[in-house]
Amino acid sequence: MSYGTPLESAFYDRDPAIVARALLGAVLRSEVDGVVTSGVIIETEAYLGPHDPACHAVAGRTARTWHLFGPPGTAYVYFIYGMHWCVNAVTREDGYGSAVLIRALEPLEGVEVMRMRRPKARRDRELCNGPGKLCAALGITRAQDGARLQQGVLTIHAGAEVPDAEVEVTPRIGISKAADWPLRWVRVRR
DNA sequence: ACGCGGATGGCCT
DNA sequence: GGCCATCCGCGTA
């Protein structure tokens, strides 16, 4: 398993649309319960900030959204639909409130552990092909909310670059407001 | 290969 | 009280 050093704070201190595109090919890595699991990021969405109706920042800085307004390179983990966790990488300057949602991974390390954490997955391809699924597979919960992605238990590392020819841009999934904004990036098989 | 609805709980109005 | 940045199982084809 080979990947680079963790992406530094300056990588995230940019427009979330730029960061969302640049994160394709990077490696999300967690170390929970003494076990390392990781995967290549293959799907992302950008949430632009307080002016984006679909972004949690519209509600302002509450207990739930606290870390969304943290410094660039912070993990913002939230609980949704009463049972799932979703993980974001916070972008732009401290206090702004924009982020990139990690929506899918290609499993890399710790696949055996992922299978135990995701017993419903019939194929390895189904281990991390959704924002809630990848958090379950990597053991990501509220415990990682606010973690710094440059070092520690939850990190994102430089990986293989994904060429434009393998990238598709579409509207974001599962939202009702600003539902037509093209802010979802997917690495597609060619 | 689709489409639909229930699960389940925290948070905002 | 209603709305979720979701997932899964069940129905029809």
List chain B nucleotides near protein: any atom < 7 Å from a Cβ: 7-13
Minimum CA–C1' distance nucleotide for A63: B11
Q: How many Å apart are CA A134 and CA A139, to the nearest integer? A: 8
Map out the domains of chain A with their CATH numbers.
Answer: 9-161 (3.10.300.10)
Predicted confidence (pLDDT) per residue in A123-138, tens digit:
999 999 999 999 999 9
Helix (H) or strand (E) holding A42: strand A35-47
pLDDT at position A190, please?
72
pTM as predicted: 0.97
Minimum CA–C1' distance nucleotide for A79: B10
